[in-house]
Amino acid sequence: MVFIVFIVAGGGGRFEAAKAVKDGDDETYRAYVESQRKKTDTVSGLASGQQAHLQWTTQVQIQSVTTILRARVKQERVKGFGLCHGSRSGREAVWFRAAWPGEQVWGTEISPVAASTAPWTMPWDYHHERPEWRGQADFVYSNALDHSFNASLAVSRWLEQTHDAGAVVIHWSGTHYHAVTNEVDRFGASNADLRAMLCGLRETYGDLTVENVSLPRKHDAPKYRKIDHFALVIMRAGAYAEAKSICSA
């Protein structure tokens, strides 16, 4: 399959709630970019084996997410394009491509240093709009929402990028339930908090459904073995009949 760059005309309406990153607090944004790039550039400078040890997501988990997606995104609606945001090493894009033959999956990474050596990865801040992606992705996956300086804006962008039968998958875990204060991991939320945030997007994107699907635990380090992982699968209401709306009418 040939990867096509789609150019879609911009417009208002449903995208008004997720305008460009606010310029009113440039200092905060610069601090966000600097902290993310600093950490990622440091990891990118490590030997391959050390980088793999710091990989938060496993190939088995990506295989599980792929199975979840292929059961929900209707085959006749599949466009053959998916996105992994905040993918650093590019492994997630590689694993998705292996698990879903024919799906052109691309990763984004805020650090140009990391993106330059990561397969199928481009330097990009996932808060920013890219018009040619709008409404084109079968899915958007990320395990990096905890790095966001504005989680609602980030998820809005990801919803914009999926077509009306596509899905946004947020990979979350028990380590993300509480608010955090360090400069890298800026966002934490419980399941209830995440659902409340998504309900806040209803006016812009219409009714949404969300499923909480368990993922395999990591077993590569003792400290990770007891941490629960799950996928929050977000779709437009009606796209997957078995999923229920998260917001009342």
DSSP state string for 167-227: EEEEEEEGGGSS---SSS------HHHHHHHHHTTHHHH--EEEEEEEEPPP-SSGGGTT-
pLDDT band at 227 (very low <50, low <70, confident <90, very high): confident
Set out the domains of the chain in order of their start, with CATH numbers. Answer: 21-236 (3.40.50.150)
Contacts of 2 (CB under 8 A, 6+ apart): none
**For residues 26-38, average pLDDT:** 81
Tell me the H-state helices in 54-165.
59-72, 91-99, 112-117, 151-161
Residue 109 pairs in a beta bridge with 123
pLDDT at residue 53 is higher than 80: no
pTM, whole model, 2 decimals? Answer: 0.82
